Structure 1
Amino acid sequence: MLFKLSLTGIKSRFKDYLVLFSGLVMAAAIFYMFETLATNHSFIKANSTLALAPFIFQFGSILLAIITFVYILYANSFLLSMRKRDYGLFMMLGAKSGKLGQLIFIETLAIGVLSLLMGVIVGIGLTTLVGQLLIQRLDATALHFSAFYGPALVVTVLFFLVLFIVAALMNQRVLRKTPVLALLKSTAQPAHVQVRPAKTVSQVIFGLVSLAIGYVAMHQIGTLQMLGIAIALVTIVVGTYLVFNSLFTWLLTRLKRHTAFASRGLNNFTLAQLNFRIFDYNRMLALVTLLFALALGAITTGMGFQKNIKLFTESAPYDVVLHDPTASIKQAATKIDIKKQNHYMYKVGANTVYFSRDQFDQQPVYVQKPWRKNQTTTKYQLTYGREMNQQNPLLWQQSLQELLLPRDSQKTIKLVDQATFAQTSGRTQQLTTIVARDFFAELPTIKRVTQLDQRHNKVATSYDMGSTKYDAYQMMNGLLSGFEFMGFFLGVAFLAMLASCLMFKILSGAASDRTRYRMLDKIGTRQRLLRGAIAKEIGVLFLLPGVVGVIHVLFGLQMFTTTGLLPHAYHDLWLPFLIFLVLYSLYYLLTVKLYQNIVLKK
């Protein structure tokens, strides 16, 4: 009987539950996808290009789990508030609080299990699509890759089941502690709160100062390190709430007193609606703003990381480095459109590698420049052998070590004259450096030549950020492409959550607004004006978090430019902002349509 009643309750509030359902499905799907890409060790081990995937996607899973936990608790509180009056009526008819607690437990768990099942199905589809795109982007193989991965499924199911059980128990506790009269009056509108100018001004000042401190802390993240993140986290959260609790309330009051604006159309009615609800909306708008900033920031930085692959790759001076190349390797290398090619001879001792200084006078080699403040990548300069004695030996020794095979790269480098080099014992080996005219145009050929050299010298795939552009490309492509995918899908998940929270709050008051809009309709107000008033009212509630969220993101990007993670973080911002704006606008249009269907006469 309780199960049947719970299904009836879900059916009666199907549209409200559908909003929650969509956000939970997206969160479960993306969580499963991250876990599959992060925990499939056989796939990662067979594809060394994906060696950084576990760190990237496990980090994404943890961040998504934290936000999902907050979202589920917040969304369930909305749904519980919508059903409080129904539960109060049940208690008036003689239902026991224990039975009602079981009823709400079943309802919450049923929604959770249904969204979890759908989320896993969607997650398998997403994993198939994203996995193939990631493999293609990272130039890896699909060995041992499977969209259905048991351990990831177990982790996803256990995590979300625990969340839903916790949410159900909390709903039970709230219901049992709420008096029957309070349940019956749960749909009553809050009384209008009088605005106190002195309190409002102090909150405006304190809120703006808190935001300013947070923005400065993000700009100085290179100096403050983890302390800067902690300061920004606290001050921006506090400042965002105070801004909504004071500044926007004050602006609404000022607009209402502006006769020319307020008397135009139904503006006075819309301002009254917003002013009447703004105190009840402040916390929710602050939460939505933070989620908005996280969502837009995740998409923007994800796309920004991917665009920097070329920047970090170009910092390496050589495209290919060959060691004692065979005839077949030399033949393969001739297919590269070579801009510059040098050959160096060296001998390997027990603990020392010998180079002839004279050959560097004829063919200068790239040596690292001293590291400078605010430098993001290693810089190199062509250096002759006679100049090396005048430089820091650590720089040219490290530069030459990067050219050697891994088994020789830890040995001491010693420069000698040609006569001494000829008398030094050991087999003379050849080192060939190649610079292509266009690395990315020649990438397939460079990859083949590099792999031939690695197999010939029995060297595993390298990720060292050394003097080879191909090694740098492999490492940065694996790291930054992973961040691109993680950022985009985290952004989509956060967007679904923030839109759900906003839709919950707006639609929860639609039933009580029906009378007001029907009265306006009866006195002859045109439907076009009524629809316009609804669009403006909901538009303000969507616009305010959007504007503040964009400001948070623009200042937050300073963290990445200051630390050098995104040297050009503000370049081509229009693309991620446009993508996010389109998705956000779709949620706005959907909310307006649902609200109009509830309050307007059909």
Structure 2
Amino acid sequence: MFYIKLAVRNFKKSLTNFAPFLLATTVMFAMTFIIANISFSNDLDKLAGAQYAKFMLIAGLVIVVFFSIIIVSYSYRFLLKQRTREFGLYNILGLNKRQISTISFWELVIAFSLTVITGTVVGLILSQFLFLVFTKIIGEAYFNLGISVFAIELSVITFFIIFCLLMCFAFFTIRKHSAISLLKDSSRGEREPRGRLFVAILSVLFLGTAYYMAITIKNPLVALMIFFIAALLVIIGTYLLYIGATIFVLKRQKANKAYYYKPEHFITTSSMLYRMKTNAVGLANITILVTMTFVTIATSVALFVGVQDVIKDLFPKNTDVKVFGSDIKQNTTKLDTFIKDNKLGNKSRLTYSSFSTSTDFQPDQAKHVKITTETSVTKDYAALLFVTRKDMIALGNTIPEVSDNQVLMYNLKSNRDVKTMDWYGEKLSVIKASGKLKNLPNPYNVYITVVKDDQELIKLTDLFNKSNVIKSKDGSTRSQTIIINTDTLFNLSEKNQAILLAKENDTVRVSTKTDVSKMMNGITGGFLFIGFLLGMTFILGAALIIYYKQISEGAEDKRSYRILQEIGLTKKEVKQVIDSQVLIVFFMPIVVSIIHFSAAFLMIDKLIKLFGVSNTSIIAKVSIITIAIISIIYYLIYRKTSKIYYRIVER
């Protein structure tokens, strides 16, 4: 009971020290509970696209838990360093290390209890509000969110484990040090690190490799596979950059006598070198968190905004009725029968036939493309959509004359200058066409190939089907066949859309803009929601690290600047030195983060294109706005925390 009372008294008297730690644990607990409560609520299943949104939310929950461990551990490490002097006094006054550990245990029990109670209350309130935001994002009108008991249990168990880790760390710290070392630990500075050219070179190699991968990769599928490898290289390279490259530069500045022996340079360089080991890790942490904030928010917003344009391109009209078959006339007959049976009539009806395939599409030096059964889809992927000139004219387009064995190709990129194509032995002349075809569903990365007529379309499908019959060793055959789709586009009421969806069968498929929008909003809306929550988590982590750095460095610099004033440095000169150091230390991460994100932009652009978003200008605009907003927030954090630093130093 004595230890509990002592722990409670310590908590009350040292509340200013415990407050940042409690803030970090409470916010991270609330964030974990909010995502878990929405993810595992039965009410989420009532929303369209719930399965996609749930996957995004659970993935985000794993990331938040991981960063909760990092942020809470960082906060507690700082708190423990502030209180080691107090633990040393306890030891001198007669308490042994086991008794001091018991006091620390009960302090953590109190902190855990406050975290769970406060975090649950805050989480319950905010989860209702954020679920309302989430449903608005995905375009739903269902706002009721129940309380998930499993979410509470999961959050409590997760933070119980985190606090157990903190207890182990506290016990280890107390048992490792003597009373004298505990008394001196809070004021112990770091030794001046050695300048390591090898580490600096490694940082350049890691970052250069990651940047090279981001810039040179053309295929979105390949970009997806190596994105996490590139991200890992950037994280390692960032730590090495601060630990090795910055120290190397500071060492070179110190060696430059003309630069070094000036009051503002001498003090700033010496001070940063003296504790650069700890400073470098903190700066790297801030840089990585800010970069991740840029990536998550910019990617999620760009994806959500861009997908809306994709849906418009996919649905010139709100309903697409598709019939599959090998004969265009039979397809048209089935389609007419389906339309007649459902009393849709022919008003505002647009019909066309097509087939599509995916293939490598890289022209050689003679601007010739050869498409065979050996063609792979991993080298230079492209999707080809074949349609007829007659149908495109019926959709309201003006199409030049096309002869036999000749095709018009739209949306052909400048780096694919094709003059001829070998289509499974058939020689085709390719004419590059400009512009965009009206009233034709046009997904990203589809090269629209216009042929002369229905007979030419059927001939090309027959060539594909005959060439893709493969005999196995046992004598059996397997084939990849292309069938022709005949589509009719309508603008129908929601009631008629529902009737058609209920009556689709094996040969008739119905897709509506409403259903596709709900599905895509479930994916991109969940991604956007998680992106903002993760962005908030990352910027909170960066803010906490900045705050702790300002306090710890202010306490360390206070003695140094007092000595400098005593030996003749004016307050104005001290202020200039402080401004110089703070600007370097706290604006370096935002600059490096912007450089990281700029290099990653091309890879992000390719990843977003996997969802059909091909408008790079939208992605660029969203990225610039995101960088501007986060930079302003970062500046406000710097301004607020720098005042704490100045007060400590000038005190």
- Unmatched segments (≥5 aa) in structure 1: 325-342, 397-411, 417-430, 436-445
Question: Structure 2 vs 1, CA of residues 259 and 119 (structure 1 numbering), >3 Å: closer, same or farther?
Answer: farther
- Pick from 326, 334, 351 the counterpart of residue 346 of structure 1: 334
Q: Indicate how the Cα distance of structure 1 residues 433 and 499 shifts in structure 2: closer, same or farther if over 3 A, else same.
A: same
SS at match of 1:52: helix
Q: For residues 388-407 of structure 1, what are the structure 2 equivalents within 5 Å?
A: 388-392=457-461
How is 1:359-438 mapped onto 2 (pairs within 5 angstroms)?
Answer: 364-365=351-352, 367-371=354-358, 373=381, 377=444, 379=446, 385-392=454-461, 433-434=489-490
Summarize the alignment of residues 127-142 of structure 1 with structure 2, pairs less than 5 Å apart: 127-142=127-142
Structure-2 residue corresponding to 1:160:
159
Q: Could you tell me which residue of structure 2 aligns to residue 209 of structure 1?
A: 205
Number of the residue aligned with 1:17: 18
Secondary structure in structure 1 of the residue aligned to 2:489: strand
Per the alignment, residue 488 of structure 1 pairs with 532
- In structure 2, the partner of 1:400 is none
Pair 225,182 (structure 1): closer, same or farther in 2 beyond 3 Å: same
Gap change, CA 1:175 and 1:451, over 3 Å in 2? farther
1:582 aligns to 2:638 (yes or no)? no
Distance 1:374 1:72, change over 3 A: farther
Kept after mapping to 1: 8 A contact 2:553/2:645: no
2:650 aligned with 1:600 = yes
- The answer to whether the 8 A contact 2:57-2:530 is kept is yes
| 1:505-584 → structure 2 map (5 Å cutoff) | 505-520=549-564, 527=571, 529-563=573-607, 564-565=609-610, 567=614, 568=616, 569-584=619-634
What amino acid is aligned across from residue 646 of structure 2 in structure 1? Q
Query: Structure 2: how far apart are the matches of 1:537 and 1:588?
Result: 13
CA–CA distance in 1 between the matches of 2:78 and 2:509?
A: 51
The range that moved more, 16-25 or 236-245, is 16-25
> Aligned partner of 1:552: which letter?
H
How many Å apart are 1:242 and its aligned residue? 1.7
Q: Say whether the 8 Å CA contact 2:311–2:513 is kept in structure 1.
A: yes
Q: For residues 350 and 535 of structure 2, what CA distance do their matches in structure 1 show?
A: 50
Bigger shift: 534-543 or 260-269?
260-269
Secondary structure in structure 2 of the residue aligned to 1:81: helix
Q: Distance in 2 between matches of 1:465 and 1:177?
A: 70
Report the equivalent of 1:77.
77
**AA in 1 matched with 2:179:** V
Separation in 1 of the partners of 2:575 and 2:115?
33
Offset at residue 414 of structure 1 (A): 8.5
Match of 1:286 among 281, 284, 287: 284
Query: Which residue of the partner structure matches residue 498 of structure 1?
Result: 542
C-alpha separation between the residues in 2 aligned to 1:322 and 1:157? 49
Given that 1:29 and 1:122 are in contact with CA atoms closer than 8 Å, whether structure 2 keeps it comes out as yes
Shift of 1:294: 1.7
Once the 2 structures are TM-superposed, how far is the Cα of residue 65 of structure 1 from its aligned partner?
Answer: 0.8
Superposition deviation, residue 31 in structure 1: 1.6
Determine the structure 2 residue equivalent to 1:337: none
TM-score by length of 1: 0.76
- 2: CA distance, partners of 1:554 / 1:415: 42
Distance 1:17 1:255 in 2: 39
Letter in 2 for 1:367: S
Q: Distance in 1 between matches of 2:540 and 2:629?
A: 14
Structure-1 separation of matches of 2:101 and 2:110? 14
Q: Report the 3-state secondary structure (helix = DSSP H, G, I; strand = E; otherwise coil) of the residue aligned with 2:56.
A: helix
State the match for 1:427 in structure 2: none
Write the distance in 2 (CA, Å) between the matches of 1:223 and 1:579: 31
How far, CA to CA, are the matches of 1:178 and 1:76 in structure 2?
Answer: 17
User: Which letter does structure 1 place at the counterpart of 2:334?
Assistant: Y
Q: How does 1:444-463 map to 2 (within 5 A)?
A: 449-455=493-499, 458=502
Q: Deviations over 1:183-225 (max 9, x none)?
A: 12213443643645xxx32221111001122334455485757
Q: Deviations over 1:285-312 (max 9, x none)?
A: 2223222222221111121211211232
Preserved contact between residue 353 and residue 485 of structure 2 (Cα < 8 Å) = no
- Alpha carbons of 1:378 and 1:190: their partners in 2 closer, same or farther (altered >3 Å)? closer
- CA displacement at 1:456 relative to structure 2: 6.4
Q: Does 1:312 align with 2:310?
A: yes
Q: Residue 534 of structure 1 contacts residue 592 of structure 1 at CA under 8 Å; is this kept in 2?
A: no
Q: Aligned letter for 1:346?
A: K
**Contact 2:290-2:593 within 8 A present in 1 as well:** yes
The 5-angstrom pairing of residues 31-430 of structure 1 reads: 31-41=32-42, 43-142=43-142, 144-146=144-146, 148-190=147-189, 192-193=191-192, 195-196=194-195, 200-218=196-214, 220=217, 228-229=226-227, 231-256=229-254, 266-321=264-319, 346=334, 364-365=351-352, 367-371=354-358, 373=381, 377=444, 379=446, 385-392=454-461
Percent identity over paired residues: 19
8 Å Cα contact 1:23-1:493 kept in structure 2? no
Letter paired with 1:589 = R
Deviation at 1:158?
Answer: 1.9
SS in 2 for 1:55: helix
Q: Following TM superposition, by how much is the alpha carbon of 1:580 offset from its aligned partner in structure 2, in angstroms?
A: 1.0
2:320–2:511: 8 Å Cα contact kept in structure 1?
A: no
C-alpha displacement of 1:235: 2.9
SS of equivalent residue, structure 1 residue 365? strand
Structure 2 unaligned runs (5+)? Answer: 323-330, 360-380, 384-442, 466-481
Question: What secondary structure does 1:433 align onto?
Answer: strand
Q: CA deviation at 1:55?
A: 0.5
**C-alpha distance in structure 2 between counterparts of 1:108 and 1:499, whole Å:** 23
Matched, 1:477 2:521: yes
Compute the displacement of 1:258 (Å). 5.9
Question: Are the counterparts in 2 of residues 29 and 120 from structure 1 also a CA contact under 8 Å?
Answer: yes
Deviations along 1:574-602, one digit per CA (max 9) or x if unpaired, are 2111221122122212221112222213x
